[in-house]
Amino acid sequence: MSDLAAPHILALTAYEPGKPEEELTRELGIDDVVKLASNENPYGPSPKSIEAVSGAALALHRYPDPRGYDLRQALAGHHSVPVEQLCLGNGSNELIDLICRVTASRGEHAVFGNPSFLCYRIAAVAQELDFTAVPLRNHLHWSVDDLLGAVTPKTKLLFISNPNNPTGSYIAKSELERLLRTLPDHVLAVVDEAYVEYADAEDFVPATELRDTRERLAILRTFSKAYGLAALRVGYVIGTPELIATLNRLRAPFNVGTAGQRAARAALADDAHLQTTIAATVRDRHKLTDALRAAGLRVAPSQANFVLVDVRRPGRAVYEALLHEGVIVRPMSAPLESSIRVTVGKPEENERFLSSLARVLRQSRV
């Protein structure tokens, strides 16, 4: 084994992001590509964010505001929290990593779900933490008892994605509240709400409404999904002033660019755009789910902007075949080898996916 890097890093498998459209065009010469692989908002951001990005072009020679003052003020108003309880990240992904680095040391322990967002595992491994990946029941449903059962005296962190990527499932209000109240005090609960805007179940509750349940609580949000600003990399965490001050010890000073800060602020101020695109996606999530079920496939009920489809054969083969149709979805790894994850796109994109999938599933080679 090479001695270039530490063994725990060499043992890591790199996160496999959704394939970019341009890459498929390069590889297969297909120009008309539909990407339903990274849970982006297909309608794009508020026009006000685009205007803000144009304005930011005049300040390109200046470093961004290192403390993100204006955006944090706007977020403080949005969530009714003091500004000292907010820290910006270069996407929420950076914050997952930063939280691991500042709160836990080698040999301490983290808990997260399986299947869930793979970056929790990567961040834990990078920090040389021991971890328990708690199997979701039927690969789908969170069990609060199973999560609590995995906690040890060495556990510093518990990550939950709510709604969960890649299943779209969620922890209902009473269970989330029980988890947050019962979890021992020494554990920082990190509730990753990347898809919270799409959740409409009656018993879903954002963790922002459960802030008084425990001291050690970090809530992650992002502008990459419903706000349509994935390219600009803006996320944030809501936590105690102590947690935020600790994160700031290690946070790179200019981690969120000027265009991102301004576009995110403009996005927050355009609730009408946000609500319109959420409504379209939630409507089409139901339509897509119904169409796939009508085709005889099992689809997990989703509270997010994607659906997990069991294609009852190797999902990676279906993914590869769909690439040749110019449709990019996401293949899943164990324990979801027979599933693909599909972002809810615009109606015409969903139609294209459905007809391509029908063709692919009819072919004997898959």
Ligand X SMILES: Cc1ncc(COP(=O)(O)O)c(C=O)c1O
User: Under the rule (CB under 6 A), what is the footprint of ligand X?
Assistant: 39, 91-93, 117, 161, 165, 192, 194, 222, 224, 230, 235
Shortest distance, position 43 Cβ to ligand X, whole Å: 17
Instruction: Kindly list the distances between the CA atom of residue 213 and the CA atoms of 14, 75, 177, 241, in Å, as whole numbers in the listed order.
Output: 35, 21, 7, 16
Shortest distance, position 231 Cβ to ligand X, whole Å: 10
Decide whether 301 or 351 has the Cβ nearer to ligand X.
Answer: 301
Decide whether 227 or 360 has the Cβ nearer to ligand X.
Answer: 227
Q: Are 266 and 227 in contact (CB under 8 A)?
A: no
Decide whether 17 or 153 has the Cβ nearer to ligand X.
Answer: 17
Q: Are 16 and 333 in contact (CB under 8 A)?
A: no
Decide whether 88 or 321 has the Cβ nearer to ligand X.
Answer: 88
Cα angle at 315 between 130 and 341, to 5 degrees?
70
Cis amide prior to 7 (ω within 30 degrees): no
Instruction: Kindly list the distances between the CA atom of residue 91 and the CA atoms of 141, 184, 199, in Å, as whole numbers in the listed order.
Output: 26, 29, 20
Rounded to whole angstroms, the Cα distance separating 321 from 340 reads: 12
Please give the full DSSP string across 42-72, using - where no structure is assigned: TT-S-HHHHHHHHHHGGGTTSPPPTT-HHHH
Rounded to whole angstroms, the Cα distance separating 52 from 261 reads: 9
* Pair of tokens at residue 219: 């809530």
Shortest distance, position 91 Cβ to ligand X, whole Å: 3
Shortest distance, position 71 Cβ to ligand X, whole Å: 14
Decide whether 222 or 261 has the Cβ nearer to ligand X.
Answer: 222
Decide whether 161 or 258 has the Cβ nearer to ligand X.
Answer: 161
- Helix H or strand E segment including 8: helix 7-10
Shortest distance, position 264 Cβ to ligand X, whole Å: 11
For ligand X, which residue has the nearest CB? Answer: 91
Decide whether 268 or 321 has the Cβ nearer to ligand X.
Answer: 268
Decide whether 179 or 264 has the Cβ nearer to ligand X.
Answer: 264
Instruction: Kindly list the distances between the CA atom of residue 175 and the CA atoms of 82, 157, 178, in Å, as whole numbers in the listed order.
Output: 27, 18, 5
Shortest distance, position 117 Cβ to ligand X, whole Å: 4
What one-letter code names the amino acid at 247?
L
Shortest distance, position 159 Cβ to ligand X, whole Å: 9
Query: What are residue 285's phi and psi, to 5 degrees?
Result: -65, -45
- Helix H or strand E segment including 147: helix 144-149
Report the candidate in 169, 167, 151, 140 with the shortest Cα–Cα distance to residue 112.
151
Decide whether 251 or 325 has the Cβ nearer to ligand X.
Answer: 251
